[in-house]
């Protein structure tokens, strides 16, 4: 069940209930008729029972995002398979805070389930910095094999000590550079350009190496900042760019594919412990099903979004142009080694053929 209202947003404005045009004059209606009508109404519309275990799920994306749709599927499957014992209450569009707040709220027990970009998670578990190595993954399948394999599971397990359970990886997608004012074909084209990055030291250092003037900003504040001209450029997946309507304030998308960004799916250990063994098994399988569904949606979403954004200019980089960007950010690997650990980074580079 999704919640699209409240919490100080425009979506929270309540529409007054329109009163029935016909007044009810009780003095003219027989008591017996009223009693019968009430019995019929109660019988016809029984109240839905609240799940015994209700996960409060929150995220910063729009309700059109692939992640939100996957949460809706997860809710549906849990309610069906547990006969209503387990379900979700979904708070989209940063109603309960941005991505960093979502992770903190998992720790504090204020929410029970979220998906967020991997970059903010690195502040809670440094191993997640490993996913910020530029040009690490060549394609989705390679990313899935690493994320679902030993290395990906090990990185998720590192969250346990922070009071967070990592359930798996959904897909945010390959990140692209976008600008408001000009096409970009080389690092030199970004010299001094004011650019928003995620709240992550490695991302900031990456764009500084390229020559831009990067600064971090919470995702839920980004549209307004772009609209006001605080930043000329930003970066992120095409489908998320479309879902968040950034095409209204940005005119160019440069297909850099500089980082593959997963969406770690995070849960509260306390809420999970409230599940019976039977319901935990159902929950785990439902997460697997929702992950496959979300990834399929994400694989299709970039093409769908690109076709829909007819006013945006897409820039395809030549191999030599991509190599120029990759050469600029090569030193970032050493920074990631310091943050995430040299042994983990070297294993990850070996797994992706980048060693």
pLDDT 10s digits, 84-117: 999 999 999 999 999 999 999 999 999 999 999 9
What would the pLDDT profile of 232-268 be if each residue is shown by its tens digit? 999 999 999 999 999 999 999 999 999 999 999 999 9
Q: Quote the pLDDT of residue 199.
A: 87
Determine how many CB atoms are found less than 10 A away from the CB of residue 68: 21
Query: If you ran DSSP here, which 8-state letter would residue 245 be given?
Result: T
Q: How many CB atoms lie within 10 A of CB 235?
A: 25
Q: Report the C-alpha gap between 17 and 85 in whole angstroms.
A: 31
Q: What pLDDT is attached to residue 1?
A: 74
pLDDT for the residue 49: 77
- pLDDT for 185 equals 98
Q: Which helix (H) or strand (E) holds 213?
A: strand 213-216
Q: Are 233 and 254 in contact (CB under 8 A)?
A: no
Q: What is the dihedral of CA 324, 327, 329, 331, to 10 degrees?
A: -170
pTM of the full predicted structure?
Answer: 0.83
Cα 54 to Cα 17, 40, 112, 178: the distances in Å are 28, 30, 9, 39
- Taking CA atoms, 112 is separated from 224, 270, 315, in Å, by 29, 8, 40
Report the alpha-carbon distance of residue 98 to residue 111 in Å, rounded: 13
**pLDDT given at position 15:** 32
What distance in Å separates the CA atoms of residue 208 and residue 191, rounded to the nearest whole number? 9
The residues of the chain scoring below 70 in pLDDT are 2-48
CA distances from 136 to 65, 67, 308 (A): 25, 23, 29
| Separation CA 2–CA 167 (nearest Å) | 21
Rounded distance, CA 313 to CA 28, Å?
68
Name which of 321, 355, 314 is nearest 210 in CA terms: 321
**Distance, CA of 135 to CA of 260 (rounded, Å):** 8
b/e string for 251-270 if b means 16 or more Cβ within 10 A?
A: ebbbbbbbbbbbbbbbbbee
Backbone angles phi, psi at 229, to 5 degrees: 80, 15
**Token representation of residue 306:** 């690109």
- The CATH H-level superfamily of 49-351 is Bacterial extracellular solute-binding protein, family 7 (3.40.190.170)
CB atoms within 10 A of CB 310: 7
Cα separation of 91 and 56, whole Å?
A: 8
Is residue 346 within a helix (H) or strand (E), and if so which, with residue range? helix 342-351
Strand-pairing partners, residue 267, are: 113, 165
Cα–Cα distance for residue pair 248/285, rounded to 1 Å: 39
According to the model, what pLDDT value does residue 55 have? 98
> Which pLDDT belongs to residue 48?
59
Provide the pLDDT for residue 40. Answer: 43
Name the residue among 204, 202, 227 with its Cα closest to residue 217: 204
Q: What does each C-alpha distance from 280 to 125, 183, 316 come to in angstroms?
A: 25, 50, 46
């Amino acid at each position: 069940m999704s919640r699209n209202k409240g919490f100080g947003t425009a979506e929270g404005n309540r529409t007054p209930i329109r009163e029935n045009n016909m007044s009810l004059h009780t003095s003219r209606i027989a008591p017996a008729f009223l009693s019968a009508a009430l019995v019929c109404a109660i019988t016809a519309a029984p109240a839905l029972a609240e799940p015994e275990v209700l996960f409060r799920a929150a995220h910063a994306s729009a309700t059109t995002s692939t992640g939100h749709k996957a949460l809706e599927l997860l809710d549906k499957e849990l309610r069906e398979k547990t006969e209503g014992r387990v379900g979700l209450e979904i708070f989209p569009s940063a109603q309960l805070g941005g991505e960093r707040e979502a992770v903190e709220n998992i720790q504090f027990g204020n929410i029970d389930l979220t998906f967020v970009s991997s970059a903010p998670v690195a502040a809670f578990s440094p191993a997640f910095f490993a996913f910020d190595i530029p040009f690490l993954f060549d394609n989705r399948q390679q990313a899935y094999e690493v994320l679902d394999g030993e290395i990906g599971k090990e990185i998720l397990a590192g969250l346990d000590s922070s009071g967070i359970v990592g359930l798996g990886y959904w897909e945010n997608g390959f990140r692209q550079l976008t600008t408001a004012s000009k096409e970009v074909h080389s690092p030199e084209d970004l010299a001094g350009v004011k650019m928003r990055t995620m709240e992550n030291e490695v991302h900031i250092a990456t764009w500084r190496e390229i020559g831009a003037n990067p600064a971090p900003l919470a995702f839920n504040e980004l549209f307004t900042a772009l609209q006001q001209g605080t930043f000329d450029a930003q970066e992120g997946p095409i489908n998320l760019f479309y879902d968040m309507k950034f095409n209204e304030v940005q005119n160019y998308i440069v297909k850099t594919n500089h980082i593959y960004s997963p969406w770690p799916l995070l849960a509260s250990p306390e809420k999970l412990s409230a599940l019976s063994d039977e319901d935990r098994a159902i929950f785990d399988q439902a997460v697997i099903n929702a992950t496959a569904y979300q990834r399929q949606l994400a694989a299709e979403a970039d093409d769908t979004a690109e076709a829909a954004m007819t006013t945006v200019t897409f820039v395809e980089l030549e191999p030599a142009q991509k190599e120029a960007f990759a050469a600029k950010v090569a030193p970032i690997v050493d920074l990631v080694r310091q943050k995430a650990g040299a042994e983990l980074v070297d294993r990850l580079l070996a797994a992706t053929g980048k060693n």
